Amino acid sequence: MAVNLPPPDPKSLYPVPGVELGIAMAGIKKPNRKDLLVLRLAPGAVVAGVFTQNRFCAAPVLLAKKHLKNSVRALVVNTGNANAGTGKDGLGRALSVCAMLSKILNCKSRQILPFSTGVIMEPLPIDRIQAGLPDAVAGQASWLDAAEAIMTTDTVPKAVSRKVKLSAGEAVVTGIAKGAGMIRPDMATMLGFVATDAKVAQKTLQSIVKRVADKSFNCATVDGDTSTNDSFILMASGVGVEVRSEKDKNALEQAILEVSQKLAQAIIRDGEGATKFVTVKVERGRSEAECRKIAYSIAHSPLVKTAFFASDPNLGRILAAIGYAGVKDLDTSKVELYIDDVRVARAGGRDVQYREEQGIQAMKKPEFTVRTILNRGKAAATLWTCDLSFDYVKINAEYRT
Amino acid sequence: MAVNLPPPDPKSLYPVPGVELGIAMAGIKKPNRKDLLVLRLAPGAVVAGVFTQNRFCAAPVLLAKKHLKNSVRALVVNTGNANAGTGKDGLGRALSVCAMLSKILNCKSRQILPFSTGVIMEPLPIDRIQAGLPDAVAGQASWLDAAEAIMTTDTVPKAVSRKVKLSAGEAVVTGIAKGAGMIRPDMATMLGFVATDAKVAQKTLQSIVKRVADKSFNCATVDGDTSTNDSFILMASGVGVEVRSEKDKNALEQAILEVSQKLAQAIIRDGEGATKFVTVKVERGRSEAECRKIAYSIAHSPLVKTAFFASDPNLGRILAAIGYAGVKDLDTSKVELYIDDVRVARAGGRDVQYREEQGIQAMKKPEFTVRTILNRGKAAATLWTCDLSFDYVKINAEYRT
């Protein structure tokens, strides 16, 4: 069902020196599925991250944020249970998972970052995780295995890789992510992990992670629901080539951005029930904030999303969404609207040149761009979203049961 | 499909002296359906209204707002075409409709309030309206006929009536509304018309309409889409008893509020594809604004709405929606969550007493209340909403085609 998203070719995914992966089938929610991932980092690796702004942020997120300050040795990720909305008990369970893994790895609990994804408000089955950990530590898994081990309602594993030339040689950037529903990241996606072998300062990495998140995961929305567990983690093992100059930093950041954008777009392509991948651009606004406001208004409107699903150029719904976005002094008589290259509206109404067949033609494709031109400034914003289909309702009415 | 919403009993709908109704089948979008309504007012009647905040507000809304200042003689309402997103041409067409009706009624165009509902961005077929107007002026229609003549995707006509005792005698309050989709009024519903025969000053009426809108139509949301055509109009023909005291005013306002709340709730009960009518209460917040923010966040979450549809107490989704509502300093460890009388969450997590069967039992009913207690102040807010079902997608993917 995913839109133009074939499974990743295993050969396209480069291993990252200094990052070792292991997975297990711990039976956290269902038996016989990969649901536990451990990423071990070489000594001296640095890690940076951004996390959900949801006030009900999950117990593992609280710990991961805190432990990020230390010298991180491993990440442990489970699917099947989000350990969110679980109060103090949930915090205790997340801490136990760190403790168990730290014993096996002979390090401190505070050197472990825990992550969880799945159902909210259920107690995390730590006994099952404990039983699965030795397998996950012993195994030698690929990045594709790792991508599979963090899936929930995802139908396709998401993994992307790039090589980048720095002054001292070549570095690798490989990342995985999961998504599908409750996707409207407010700092990051539900779970995104990107690793490089480059040697780079933690401070630099932290500045990169913020900028990259804003241009990748924070531009993706399936349903407007900001998850309790959003985390985007960037790791640099440091066993590879060193970042020596501003130019090196920019090259590395660009590779990380490319990987992250591909992963964020993959989440939308595999959005719950998605049949269309839609890029929403808002241009010539006064500020990026107002462009994003209007873009989110379009991308979150159930009426617009069902029209996408039906390939129905019911474009008045898009105008309505622009109109209620909350840009109080918007002069609608200046607004232009395009579907791909077809101008459908101008001067506050339908473009006289526009014929409906053009709109249908554009919207029938699995991918198209909705472009709004405000004609009141120089700022712009871009989002990626998907349609609202029968299957979105089916998946979310049936999830859990 | 509407939730606990039988069609109105014609005998329960009191005529309003000083208000005459006429309808026609003008074939605006489809043949053989009531799609044109004219409400004529006695000389000296006063009218007050509140309108959509959508920047793409429809041409008729612009005119109705402007004409409201004059001595209003009639309202003309068509369904099948919203005359929104139609620019200057749309404004000209709305003005033509006023001119045509004013000729028949022998008054000025500026004494007519025009209203339209239906598809956005299509030119209003004024020739068909012109052909239908004589019928609509000649006829003697009931309030039930009137309610039917303004329906779009509504499955049940919406009309409510009350009698109220004032010091000088009894007054009547009767109202009609339409809704179904694109419902998240930001001042009023798509179309709501409430009339009384009481004699009351325009200034008083205007203050009543604002307060009533905030406690009725502005508490309703189907899909978070604020329409381009929202209008809530309050009419007092003045041929009945006079409002003589503050007590009279309060009694009249209460009757108008009751009628308006019933109409607003009827819109939600008949929300597109609705199978559940859900009251969302947020209590003990610091301000009404933050309570409304959280209530809207719950009521607009596609994940929460699909869980309502499935009668699935996937309550973590509600906690997530509370968490991302944007109340930055919310202490989640103080939040309590109830489904009807069942406390499901406290102290930031699941209530230890709570058993899932209780949640399923409560949510299986066609009507229930989701109550969030923030424990940080004395303010509260209430919204009414419905679930997100297969039929919502079906209706909105197929509307127009």
Residues 6+ apart with CB under 8 A from B321: A225, B294, B297, B298, B301, B303, B304
Task: Give me the percent of chain B exceeding a pLDDT of 90.
Answer: 41
Q: How many CA atoms lie within 13 A of A394 on its CB side?
A: 6
CB A139 within 8 A of CB A24: yes
Task: Give me the percent of chain A exceeding a pLDDT of 90.
Answer: 41
Q: What is the pLDDT of residues A149-178, one digit of tens each?
A: 998 878 889 888 889 999 989 998 998 888
d(CA B214, CA B193): 15
pLDDT at B187: 42
Q: Which CATH superfamily is domain B277-398 in?
A: ArgJ beta chain, C-terminal domain (3.10.20.340)
Interface test with B, best of A314, A337, A375 (most B CBs within 10 A): A314
Q: What is the pLDDT of residues B151-169, one digit of tens each?
A: 887 888 988 888 999 998 9
Across chain B, mean pLDDT equals 87
Provide ipTM, 2 decimals: 0.72
pLDDT at B399: 58
d(CA B250, CA B171): 13
Question: A285 falls in which pLDDT band (50, 70, 90)?
Answer: very high
Is the pLDDT at A182 greater than 70? The verdict is no
pLDDT at B188: 45
Q: Which of residues 225-254 of B touch A (CB under 8 A)?
A: 225-228
pLDDT at A187: 42
Q: What is the pLDDT of residues B361-394, one digit of tens each?
A: 999 999 999 999 999 999 999 988 888 888 888 8
Is the pLDDT at A186 greater than 80? The verdict is no
Residue B98's φ and ψ, nearest 5 degrees, are -60, -45
Q: Which of residues 301-320 of B touch A (CB under 8 A)?
A: 301-303, 306-307, 309-310, 312, 314-317, 319-320
Domain with CATH 3.10.20.340 in chain B: 277-398
CB A319 within 8 A of CB B56: yes
Are residues B349 and A86, on separate chains, in Cβ contact within 8 Å? yes
How many contacts does A have with B, using Cβ atoms within 8 A? 230
Question: B209 falls in which pLDDT band (50, 70, 90)?
Answer: confident
pLDDT at B223: 67
DSSP bridge pairs for A23: A37
d(CA A189, CA A184): 7
Domain with CATH 3.60.70.12 in chain A: 10-269
Q: What is the pLDDT of residues A42-73, one digit of tens each?
A: 998 999 888 877 777 889 999 998 998 899 99
Is the pLDDT at A15 greater than 90? The verdict is yes
Cα B347–Cα B341–Cα A229 angle in degrees, nearest 5: 40
Pick the CATH number of A10-269 from 3.60.70.12, 3.50.50.60, 3.40.50.920, 2.40.400.10: 3.60.70.12
Is the pLDDT at B319 greater than 60? The verdict is yes
Q: Stretch B4-28: mean pLDDT, rounded?
A: 92
Q: What is the pLDDT of residues B25-52, one digit of tens each?
A: 999 988 889 999 999 999 989 998 888 7
SS3 category, A264: helix
Shortest Cα–Cα distance, B197 to chain A (Å): 35
Residues 6+ apart with CB under 8 A from A239: A17, A18, A42, A197, A199
Of the ranges A127-136, A321-330, B64-73, which one carries the lowest mean pLDDT score? Answer: A321-330
Residues of A in contact with B88 (CB under 8 A): 347-349
Token representation of residue B196: 């009384």
pTM: 0.77
Q: What is the pLDDT of residues A330-341, one digit of tens each?
A: 998 899 999 999
DSSP A152: S
